[in-house]
């Protein structure tokens, strides 16, 4: 199958997909595809209580078998086709991406990809940091640009209770410093805030990372998946977080750096850096959402809250050419109308609960 691009900014004669004048694909709400998040494993060495609670992800949980996972060749192929159609940023995630054997090799392959105008893609990875101290140099050598490390508390007892595998926070902090020392950057630190669990750590986290090379970002606890028993009462709003930190250290808003950026940025008035808040629940950003996600087994999800993914692995393994893969991705993105976070508040708890949702550890953050 070959692809005949539609006129710039115009409807496709086949209805399959549309190209903006800037190149790439547009969905039904005129959002381009720019950011591809690739889950490289559904496994994790942590059992964070808000993501992979032990009661669900216990020893009998059926993780994917090796041959079900996309191979590095298959991931590279999807990324290459995506780059040819507007993707400018790749983020490796999981599960815990550093558990995937040979992840450096995948990073090196992705670092060699180019956009149609010859530019490198931005390569990022989100990790729990547990293997960073060991892996940092190899990740840097392979070509990793950006890193996001999840740190939910500085209090070691609470940190261990949250990861539920007794992993000490000091080893994650050492890993972050190791990544900085080898020159990976920028490095962002993500803290998911759950009321009654770690919201007491907000001020300590801000104080600890103010004036460091790292940008701390607070994420509103989301209703991803169905295993974490989410309730709106457990969400601490970004507004509250900014107010609490601002009471300690005056903050000023910073404009968004790029369209589609998920975090609202605030800088310390004394010039010692900035924080971000990701208001996935209280101040949604679906209108500029340019992200797609590839699950570990090669399903394309057009929203973190999509009820189902589109099977690209079958296409890859059927012997289809790149043009056929591109046509499939184009028509999936062209039909996209997701905006779950915008409609969340209009759903009753019963309707929300009845809606099937994908686990964060499967689809990646």
Closest C-alpha to 182, from 132, 128, 217, 216: 132
Indicate whether 97 belongs to the interface with ligand SF4 (CB under 6 A): no
Which CB, 96 or 240, lies closer to ligand SF4? 96
User: Can you say whether the dihedral through the CA atoms of 198, 53, 134, 364 is positive or negative?
Assistant: negative
**Of the listed pieces 120-128, 131-139, 251-259, 349-357, which binds ligand SAM according to CB under 6 A?**
120-128
Contacting ligand SAM within 188-207 (CB under 6 A):
190, 192
Helix count and strand count (H, E) for the chain = 12, 12
Q: Cα 299 to chain center, whole Å?
A: 15
Which CB, 35 or 199, lies closer to ligand SF4? 35
CA distances from 25 to 84, 245, 303, 345 (A): 10, 40, 16, 29
**β-sheet bridge partners, residue 106:** none
Closest C-alpha to 148, from 94, 195, 187, 184: 187
Q: Cα 141 to chain center, whole Å?
A: 22
CA atoms within 13 A on the CB side of 91: 20
Which CB, 79 or 358, lies closer to ligand SAM? 358
**Of the listed pieces 74-82, 100-108, 174-182, 217-225, which binds ligand SAM according to CB under 6 A?**
217-225
Indicate whether 361 belongs to the interface with ligand SAM (CB under 6 A): yes
Indicate whether 150 belongs to the interface with ligand SAM (CB under 6 A): yes
Indicate whether 147 belongs to the interface with ligand SAM (CB under 6 A): no
35 close to 344: Cβ distance less than 8 angstroms:
no
Indicate whether 341 belongs to the interface with ligand SF4 (CB under 6 A): yes
Indicate whether 286 belongs to the interface with ligand SF4 (CB under 6 A): yes
Q: Give the CA dihedral 70, 110, 258, 256, nearest 10 degrees.
A: 80
Indicate whether 41 belongs to the interface with ligand SF4 (CB under 6 A): no
Contacting ligand SAM within 76-105 (CB under 6 A):
93-94, 96
Indicate whether 51 belongs to the interface with ligand SAM (CB under 6 A): yes
Q: How far apart are the first and last CA of the chain?
A: 33
Return d(Cα 256, Cα 266) in angstroms, integer: 10
Return d(Cα 109, Cα 119) in angstroms, integer: 15
Among 218, 285, 333, 362, binds ligand SF4 (CB under 6 A): 285
Indicate whether 365 belongs to the interface with ligand SAM (CB under 6 A): yes
250 close to 270: Cβ distance less than 8 angstroms:
yes
| Binding partner of 326, given ligand SAM, ligand SF4, none, CB within 5-8 angstroms per partner class | none
Indicate whether 161 belongs to the interface with ligand SF4 (CB under 6 A): no
**Of the listed pieces 19-27, 66-74, 106-114, 336-344, which binds ligand SF4 according to CB under 6 A?**
336-344
Q: Enumerate binding residues for ligand SAM (CB under 6 A).
A: 44, 50-51, 93-94, 96, 126-128, 150, 190, 192, 219, 221-222, 224, 228, 360-361, 364-365
Q: Enumerate binding residues for ligand SF4 (CB under 6 A).
A: 44, 46-48, 51-52, 94-96, 128, 150, 285-286, 289, 291, 303-305, 338-341, 361
């Amino acid at each position: 199958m070959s692809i005949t691009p539609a006129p710039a900014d115009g409807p496709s004669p086949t209805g399959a997909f549309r190209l903006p004048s800037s190149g790439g694909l547009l969905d039904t709400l005129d959002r381009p595809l720019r950011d591809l998040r690739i889950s490289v494993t559904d496994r994790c060495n942590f059992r964070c209580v808000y993501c992979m609670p032990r009661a669900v992800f216990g020893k009998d949980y059926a993780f994917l078998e090796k041959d079900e996972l996309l191979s590095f060749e298959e991931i590279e192929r999807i990324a290459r086709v995506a780059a040819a159609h507007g993707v400018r940023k790749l983020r490796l995630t999981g599960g815990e991406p550093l558990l995937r054997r040979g992840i450096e090799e995948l990073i090196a392959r992705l670092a060699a990809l180019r956009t149609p105008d010859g530019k490198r893609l931005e390569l990022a990875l989100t990790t729990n940091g547990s293997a960073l101290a060991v892996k940092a140099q190899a990740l840097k050598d392979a070509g990793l640009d950006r890193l996001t490390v999840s740190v939910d508390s500085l209090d070691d007892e609470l940190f261990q209770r949250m990861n539920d595998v007794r992993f000490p926070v000091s080893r994650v902090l050492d890993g972050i410093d190791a990544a900085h020392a080898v020159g990976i950057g920028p490095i962002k630190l993500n803290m998911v805030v759950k009321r009654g669990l770690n919201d007491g750590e907000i001020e300590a986290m801000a104080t600890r990372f103010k004036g460091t090379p790292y940008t701390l970002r607070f994420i509103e606890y989301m209703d991803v998946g169905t295993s974490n028993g989410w309730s709106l009462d457990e969400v601490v709003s970004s507004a509250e977080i900014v107010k609490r930190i601002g009471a300690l250290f005056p903050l000023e808003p910073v404009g968004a750096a790029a369209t589609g950026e998920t975090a609202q940025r605030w800088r310390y008035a004394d010039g010692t850096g900035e924080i971000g808040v990701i208001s996935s629940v209280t101040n949604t950003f679906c209108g500029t959402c340019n992200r797609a996600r590839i699950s570990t087994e090669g399903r394309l999800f057009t929203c973190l809250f999509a009820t189902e993914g589109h099977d690209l692995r079958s296409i890859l393994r059927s012997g289809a050419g790149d043009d056929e893969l591109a046509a499939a991705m184009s028509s999936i993105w062209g039909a996209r109308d997701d905006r779950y976070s915008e409609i969340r508040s209009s759903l009753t708890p019963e309707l929300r609960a009845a809606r099937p949702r994908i686990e964060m550890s499967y689809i990646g953050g």
